[in-house]
Amino acid sequence: MDDTTTMIAGLRFLIVEDHGFQRWAIRHMLEELGAGNVLEAGDGRAALAILRDPHARVDIIISDLDMPGMDGMEFIRHAGAEGIAVSFILASALDRALISSVETMTTAYGIDLLGAIKKPVTANALVAAIRRYSLPRPHIERQPAAPIFTLAEIAQGFANREFESYFQPKVELATGAIKGVEALARWRHPQKGVVSPGAFIKLLEDSGHIDGLTMAMLDMSAICCRTWREGGLDATVSVNLSHKSLADVAFADRVTERVLAQNLDPRHVVLEVTESAATTHLGTALENLSRLRMRGFGLAIDDYGTGYSSMQQLSRIAFTELKIDQSFVRSASTQKSSRVILESSLEMAKRLNILAVAEGVETRPDWDLLVSLGCDLGQGYFVAAPMETGAFFHWLKTWKLSI
């Protein structure tokens, strides 16, 4: 058996489809591909009953959308609300634009979506979606329910030096050369393990203590960047800024002092801000960002395309990078609207003479499409997941473009 057949043979499927013949056809395809465990349900309610059975285990659900009783959308909502650990493939004859909306809805409900297939379902389309199951997925790093911490616990974590930087590379799509690295905050909690920022960022922002984390990240990131640059790697390091920090007129001075204290030139640091960050406390935010840019720091607008003011921010601030949100990158090969937004974003970056960075590059097709469209840099699990410092430096020694 080839790798795909072996993988499919080890997976358990649930087909949710009200039409008996179509259920049979999909089941027959799966069994021809090697699947040995396939369950069936006539609508969402019957599917939920199967998933709630403690003895049942389902890896991938192939679900129709338009069904009597509980339709596919309601089923997806319930699956997300109950935190059911399963991946979905949507199969529908509905209009492509409507399917695209449901794809976005599915991920918003916290469901891992492998893809959407236009009916009639074919074996090739089914295999292409199933293959994504074996890839590293961004959702794996997220915790289903983030631990709840108090400010005192977070402060103790700082005192114990439990916070650290994880690093994810940004590579030149045309060559595979490493051009930048994004630093991402992680808390190595003694009981909870590695905790992602969703569990502590908001509390730090709301309590006015986010600067402590930002400065610590700057220190750690600058030290690592200096190390890899001394080793011959010409790559910048990117650090995320909070909108709360930009409200302080002295913030740019503090950032500059921290980076220079680590003997790193500001030109080698890129500061990432979301478009919403630059709209809060507009005057001081613009002053800080302008001062940082004047001192040589790079500026990146993060998650471009997800808000209402992206183009306005590009006209206000001297950005050096435009980071296209992963939601458009991942769906560009299947959704016309995402493809149009991706192409227009790349054209915008080119006309403004700034680097275009695609986030969420997960698959070879993602990579190939971005190369064909002339995108500058890519970042995502297809290249590497975020890594702790030691693993990252080992990765640097072994990385090569093997596609």
Positions annotated as catalytic residues are 359
Distance CA 264, CA 58 (A): 51
CB 93 within 8 Å of CB 119 = yes
d(Cα 130, Cα 34) in Å, to the nearest integer?
12
Quote the CA–CA distance of 303 and 309 in Å, as a whole number. Answer: 12
Chain centroid to CA 315: how far?
Answer: 26
Query: How is 124-181 classified by DSSP, letter by letter?
Result: HHHHHHHHGGGS--HHHHS-SSPPP--HHHHHHHHHTT-EEEEEEEEEETTT--EEEE
Pair 29, 121: CB distance under 8 Å: yes
DSSP state of 354: -
CB contact at 8 A, 124 and 373: no
